[in-house]
Structure 1
Amino acid sequence: MKPVEVICGDVPIVLGLPHTGTHIPPAIFAQLNDIGQEKADTDWHIDRLYDGVLPNATTVRATFHRYVIDANRDPDGISLYPGQNTTQLVPLTDFDGRDIWQVPPSEHDMAQRCVDYHTTYHAALRAELDRVYQLHGMVILFDCHSIRSYIPYLFQGILPDFNIGTNDGTTCHPMMQHMVEQITMASDYTSVSNGRFKGGWTTRHYGQPNKGRHAIQLELAQSTYLTQENPPWTYDPTKADRLRNHLADILTTLTDIAPKLKGAS
């Protein structure tokens, strides 16, 4: 299986999907313990949720699971959230802090996976961002994520439905963040900007608004579109269709304001 799937579009938005993949090569899968083999920390069905929400959008999707290597972590292993519980470039625990390996990966394993998967994903993402930038003179990376709404190891209480991440406003033009906030606040979903999730390495790395490259991460609580947040992680079409209307509003609005962001920082 190819580590990355790319669909090329012609609108100024690129959708990044680094955590929807479920493929784990057999040799790596055999090294996981029973907890790891459940793949509980997947961004379940996010590719289905966003499919067709914005016609002609470019999508870059990792097919490999984040337990192989996390495409949204700094390849140098620097923590996104110093002093807080989080998972590493190659996770050693799940989101509940439980060990996931029978045979933990070696330093050599991690380095090889970085070359085979992490670098490959970001080469594809960078190529599409560059291509779309050439088309429009600017580009918006919209990084698509989801997570269980209740994970005491990672955060207190119940996570809001919409979690907008722009690394405290540094990865996109203020107008862009404001428009997304207006749409989410006008809905009957809960929302927060730059709360527990401020945007991962992808958002922080590619978000350079002074260069016409804007990035925003949206972390969705999985309760907004799954029947329940545990196995078998069933997609709920009724919940999802309601949510997709809001996602379409967000992405269409960003597409509409994109010309105004050209040359702006």
Structure 2
Amino acid sequence: MAVSKYDVASSRGSAKLTTAAEDFSVVPAFEVRAAAEQRVPFVFSSPHSGRHYPERFLAMSRLGAHDVRRSEDCYVDELFGGAVMLGAPLLAANFPRAYLDANREPWELDPRMFVEPVPPYCNIRSARVAGGLGTVPKLVGEGFDIYAGRLPLAEAVMRIETVYKPFHETLKRLLARTQAAFGFAVLIDCHSMPAGVRVSETGLRPDFIVGDRFGTSASGALTATAIDLLSAMGYSVAHNKPYAGGFITEHYGRPARKAHAVQVEINRGLYMNERTLEKTAGFDALVADMTQFCADLMALSDHHFLAPPLAAE
């Protein structure tokens, strides 16, 4: 299996970039896990499962090494690892979500976080910024502040220029290559959610949530097939509520152009202890189910997902 890595130290730019080189000098910021040959029109991404917490970042944080992991989508890259052996590339973040959130716009920044004013092109009024979860997050899960004080704006710029942008350049390249080879591309954006998440209308605690930005990021057939496959395995599955997909799903899903994107959220209670962050006895069985889910979805793709959606969608 070939693994291609983006070396932050090789990024072009000013001297400010050397801090990112230090942060990811041993472990790369992210990596593409892929078989020697891509055999299917699928690409998987895991932007929130990174678990390399640089010493420099931990020194900035007011949180301990355990508490700062509260926003992490623990082990999601492992849960979907079987997709690689089935012939699909998996783009996996090693940088943690608390350091940088790749499932945001590139410049969703909270001006209250920084010593200097943020540039005028920043999106400072999004709901995600208001919730402390911008591109450079202010909070981790349960509302814990990451930093004791304000950061230099240069810190955010460095992370965006040397980690965020190369991550998205890599994802864009993977999808373009896939579409050129197969005529269409399907992106599965992989996430996890707290065990206590409920669907407000029903009170259901779903095992999975499949999000397609309310039908705009993927064909209805793709979404319905994903839901049906998971349901047939005995899992409870919600659609778009409370998570319809973030920036990645919205930005890369263009079904009219034969580029489909679906977000899959997995309930952490299925496979881990949320207090200790340790894997539980259900982990290996869930890995097997996710591999089977990927295989079945890939097998059905040629028949269902090529047609662009009707205008009414």
- 2:197 and 2:145 map into 1 onto residues whose CA distance is 16
Structure 1 residues 134 and 196, CA, compared in 2 at 3 Å: closer, same or farther?
same
Distance 1:86 1:68, change over 3 A: closer
| Separation in structure 2 between the aligned mates of residue 138 and residue 249 of structure 1, nearest angstrom | 22
Three-state SS of the structure 2 residue aligned to 1:143 is strand
Question: In structure 2, how many angstroms separate the alpha carbons of the residues matched to 1:82 and 1:91?
Answer: 9
Q: Do the aligned residues in 2 keep the contact of 1:75 with 1:118 (CA within 8 Å)? A: yes
Q: Which ranges of structure 2 fall in alignment gaps of 5 or more residues?
A: 1-26, 109-122
TM-superposed CA distance for 1:76, in Å, is 2.8
The answer for the alignment partner of 1:247 in structure 2 is 290
The percentage of aligned residue pairs carrying the same residue is: 25
Q: Distance in 2 between matches of 1:175 and 1:10?
A: 21
For residues 141-184 of structure 1, the C-alpha deviation after alignment (integer angstroms, 9 at most, x for no partner) is: 001111222279xx897742101111111100110011111122
| C-alpha contact 1:149 1:158 (8 A) present in aligned 2 | no
- 1:17 corresponds to: 46
* Aligned mates of 1:28, 1:111 — CA distance in 2: 15
1:122 to 168, 182, 194: 168
Deviation string for 1:75-130 (max 9, x for gaps)? 13157757984622111111211212124433221122111111011111111111
Q: Which residue of 1 aligns with 2:227?
A: 181
The aligned residue for residue 81 of structure 2 is 51
Offset at residue 35 of structure 1 (A): 4.8
> Following the alignment from structure 2 to structure 1, what is the Cα–Cα distance between the partners of residues 292 and 270?
16
Q: Per-residue displacement from partner, 1:172-223 (whole Å, max 9, x unpaired)?
A: 0110011111122333322200001111110110000011110000011101
SS in 2 for 1:252: helix
Residue type of the alignment partner of 2:51? T
Q: Please tell me the residue identity of whatever aligns with 1:259.
A: D
Gaps of 5+ in 1: none
2:300 is paired with a residue whose SS is helix
After TM superposition, the score normalised by the length of structure 1 is: 0.88
Q: Does 1:230 align with 2:256?
A: no
| Cα deviation, residue 247, structure 1 | 2.1
For 2:112, the equivalent position in structure 1 comes to none
Question: Is the Cα contact below 8 Å between 1:73 and 1:80 reproduced in 2?
Answer: no
Length, aligned pairs only:
260
1:191 aligns with 2:222: no
